[in-house]
Chains A and B, each alone.
Chain A
Amino acid sequence: MRTSVRVCVVVALSLLGAAVAESVNPGGSTTALVLLAGAVALGELVVLRPPHRAPLPLAYAFMLVLVRAESPFECFVAIAAAELLVVPLRNGAWADRATQSGEHFVAGMAALGVYRIAITVDALTPTPRMLIALALAGVAAILVHEAFAYARARRIPPFGGADLALVASGMLMAIGFRGVEARESVGLWSVVLFSIPLLAAWYSFERLAVISRTSQQTIEALSVVPELAGLAPAGHAARVATLSVQVGDAMGLRRRELDDLRAAALLHHLGHLCLDAEEVRDRPVEPAEVADKGAEILRQTDLANAGDLLANDGVPVGGQILRAVSAFDDLLDRDLSVRAAMDALYSGPGFLYDSRVLDALDRVVGAGVATTLVSAG
């Protein structure tokens, strides 16, 4: 189901629920509660996707309004209802959908608990106390969300702007919805209008995600061209890229270095296509020539670091990894076993492949050649 259809379903159900609540209890607080639960459900469908981290639903901002404005029981019911409502509207397997809703519900409850504790501290005047309690509640929700993400990926996410934007907007909505110390409040309007900057952030992150994916896929698509032209074995670039990144990761390269390594690995045969056709018509093409041509082209682009990895005049670790992994894949393509391929690389002249890279490659592919060599030594 498309996101726009799912959003329409949630809006329709929320308005229907609010109409029923209003007709049963005109002017009562139930109507606003239903609409806020609808906002949480909508916020589950509109998700901030900052780069390199788990998506963050806008729902956490709306949960702060519920946490601040309603009784704990009403808040519990509204968040639970919203999370249940969106289970059938999420993408993916049913177990994953239920898990996501469950995790977000727990994060909402964490926010509620922290808020209720913080708001009882008498050390401050009401406005700062409210602001601090709301900020702590927002941070609690985000931390619980990220704890679940960490349990899956075992990688600490880079906290940043998206988290701040969610918490700040949620605080503004909560205060605007029901003012502090008898100050003016504007009710649900605050939820609607303070969503605008969040929606602008959502739109920006979506565009960023699309162009990042496009950029990545363009490199992947171009990597296939030499293979289609018969200049490299089918799937060679993709295999070398995957294995190079694994080796780079094992050697402790940083994320940016791994990105460069992946791009260089994918495009390491592209230079062959760019050689002057007339010049190379009647003679074999040297691998170093291909690498240098590729480097020359990539150095003109924003993939200049990847170009440096291809060049034969430099010795960055990434370049050493790429050289060893590409040779390893070539050997496997000649029907050598993994162990035999590693043996062949180790037995080459010492200046050809970096021994640290070969050790890392050996560990990643599980050939065990390095261990044997150490024992033998």
Chain B
Amino acid sequence: MNTQRETSVTAYCVGLAALAAAVGVFLSVRGPWPLVAPLVTLALLHVFAENQITDLTADMASGAGVMLCTAAMVVFRTDQSAIGVWLVAIAGGLYYPHLRHWQWRKLLFNCAMFPLAAVPSAAMFWTITGGGKASPGLLLAAALPAALVYSVVNVVLVCVVVTLDTGQRLRDVISVGSREYLVYYPFALMGVFLGLLYLDYELALVPLFLVPILVARQAFSSYLALKRSHEATVRILVGALEAKDPYTAGHAERVAEYAQYIGLELGIPANRLERLRLAALMHDVGKLVVPNHLLNKPGKLTAEEFDIVRKHEDVSVEILTRIDFLAPVAPSATSEAAHFSPVADDRGQPVEPHIVAVADAYDAMTSTRSYRRALSQDIAFAELRKNSGRQFHPRVVDALISSLRRRGEVHGAGHELYVHHVSAPSGNLGSAGLGDLLPDTAPNASADTVAGPTVRS
């Protein structure tokens, strides 16, 4: 974060905290104060929910907050104790990692954001339900507009801080961020139930309420841990396997990274992104069955050698097909499936093979191989653009180029990280490796022109 942005974020957080504090002082003077038992119970539940669930997904964390605040609105409805709701809400800001690492700006922001969203939401809820006896149906109905108010305030406050922090446009941040707030409504309805259960049964039923939430959290934590462990294991195994060939060391990891960039740029959902990343990591695993001397042969391959090398795609597909999660994108490992045809109707067809193809070609062009030096990024972009709409999917090419430019990343000649220890060939050599095997290869073209669409890793 640069200094100007940091100052803006600090000023914003301090300003919000001052506003929230002023509201708190006003409400505490105005009263009425709530009963201590429900106040402490709900506040502790809010602290617990935010600390236990925040590390899973932002959605669930926000949902827990709106649920506890709505429960407070139901419990404190008779007296309309706004300071009670304020206190329950502010408790959600006490997130232990922020305290431990003393991230005071985040702490201030959260402690301000929760009450500033909850108090107007409570006002809406109580306006609709009044202070007298209300049917459960009315309470449920009132929870929805209350959740709307809560989410609007929450969206605005969060999106402003993201804008100040990242420099993105507020409109863009809101258009992405506001999609996640639909989850508030069912949680607000659950909050009504929690409030009613508390009013009727006090603490007796609270553990019953918490158990399934904790079980879901535990299972989701296990899932996240296993997912991270699995991906790390695949990275290390694939990395170790391809390390035997210094020319392609790190290739799979880079292709996976570029594929991830493209996927994010194209707005691919998280689950498919995970699949894409793994498929990209393993797209060349079949290459391991090809003898090294063929992979790195600095001359043209004989027909027999060509057949041996070409088999690697079948092996890659076979291996990916054995993994149910990756089977739908197994064609990512073949050059045919990834070949873009401008006349074919590709609606309903997975875009993943095209993404892997472009990421693969880009990395092949920007890396030094046994048969030529790395090309510059500009040449690689030009080659991708030249074949965009013919061999490569145009949207995928655009996505890769714009994402790399936005990230300010430069790859290719002079920017290689992995193969400095390899003595690079003098260039202008004929083909070997897997790259220059596609039918339209120009075997004796110069290093600056041979790559592009015909290069495979």
Contact = CB atoms under 8 A, between A and B. Distances in A.
Nearest to B228: A302
Contact of A225 (B213, B234, B288, B325): B288
A186 B408 CA distance: 56
B219 A204 contact: yes
Q: Is the interface of A mostly helix, strand, loop or mixed?
A: helix
A327 B212 CA distance: 49
Contacts of A211: 223, 226-227, 230, 325
A215 B237 contact: no
B212 A198 contact: yes
Contacts of A285: none
A210 B230 CA distance: 12
Contact of A215 (B193, B201, B230, B240): B230
Contact of B325 (A176, A213, A278): A213
A197 B212 contact: yes
Nearest to B295: A277
A193 interface: yes
Nearest to A299: B236
A5 B31 CA distance: 53
A12 interface: no
A194 B213 contact: no
Nearest to B245: A277
Interface string B189-205: 11001001100110011
Interface in A210-248: 210-215, 217-218, 220-222, 224-225, 228-230
A103 B245 CA distance: 57
A169 interface: yes
Contacts of B137: 186
A213 B223 CA distance: 11
Interface residues of B, number: 61
Interface in A111-166: 127-128, 131, 161-162, 164-165
A82 B180 CA distance: 35
B304 interface: no
A217 B197 contact: no
B174 interface: no
A221 B325 CA distance: 12
Most chain-B CB neighbours within 10 Å: which of A194, A203, A301?
Answer: A301
Contact of A273 (B200, B212, B244): B244
B319 A225 contact: yes
B256 to A, nearest CB: 14
B25 interface: no
B160 interface: no
A28 B216 CA distance: 36
Interface string B271-314: 00000001000100110110011000000000000000000000
Contacts of B200: 179, 183-184
Given A194-B193, A198-B212, A218 B244 contact: no
Nearest to A276: B244
B120 to A, nearest CB: 24
Interface string B419-447: 00000000000000000000000000000
Nearest to A185: B136
Nearest to A271: B240
B123 interface: no
Interface string B232-257: 11101100110111000000000000
Contact of A201 (B215, B230, B320, B323): B215
A274 B200 CA distance: 66
B32 interface: no
B230 A161 contact: no
B262 interface: no
A147 to B, nearest CB: 22
Contact of B140 (A128, A164, A189, A207): A189
A190 interface: yes
Nearest to B196: A184
Contacts of A186: 136-137, 140, 193, 196
A297 interface: yes
Given A172-B197, A205-B219, A303-B233, A197 B213 contact: yes
B87 to A, nearest CB: 25
Nearest to A302: B229
B102 to A, nearest CB: 32
Contact of A229 (B219, B234, B237, B289): B289
Interface in B165-221: 186-187, 189-190, 193, 196-197, 200-201, 204-205, 207-209, 211-220
Contacts of B318: 224, 228
Interface in A304-333: none
Contacts of A214: 230, 278, 323-326
A290 interface: no
Contact of A208 (B197, B219, B315): B219
A135 to B, nearest CB: 9
A332 B21 CA distance: 79
Nearest to A224: B319
Interface residues of A, number: 62
Contacts of B293: 281
Most chain-B CB neighbours within 10 Å: which of A179, A212, A215, A303?
Answer: A215
A63 interface: no
A161 B244 contact: no
Given A225-B289, A274-B240, A165 B226 contact: no
B236 A297 contact: yes
A164 B285 contact: no
A300 B236 contact: yes
B322 interface: yes
A201 B322 contact: no
B241 A161 contact: no
Contacts of A228: 286, 289, 315, 318
B324 A213 contact: yes
Given A208-B222, A228-B289, A274-B244, A217 B60 contact: no
Contact of A168 (B212, B229, B324, B326): B212
Contacts of B207: 168
A19 interface: no
Contacts of B230: 211, 214-215, 218
A281 B326 CA distance: 34
A87 B223 CA distance: 31
A165 B214 CA distance: 9
Interface string B321-337: 01111100000000000
A193 B223 contact: no
Given A164-B211, A165-B212, A225 B285 contact: yes
Contacts of B324: 213-214, 217
A270 interface: yes
A131 B204 contact: yes
Contacts of A198: 212
Nearest to A190: B193
11 contacts: A127-B201, A128-B204, A168-B211, A179-B200, A197-B216, A211-B227, A214-B323, A214-B325, A215-B233, A225-B315, A228-B286
Closest 5 CB pairs of A and B: A204-B219, A197-B212, A161-B215, A168-B211, A200-B216
Interface of A: 50, 127-128, 131, 161-162, 164-165, 168-169, 171-172, 175-176, 179, 183-186, 189-190, 193-194, 196-198, 200-201, 203-205, 207-208, 210-215, 217-218, 220-222, 224-225, 228-230, 270, 273-278, 281, 297, 300-303
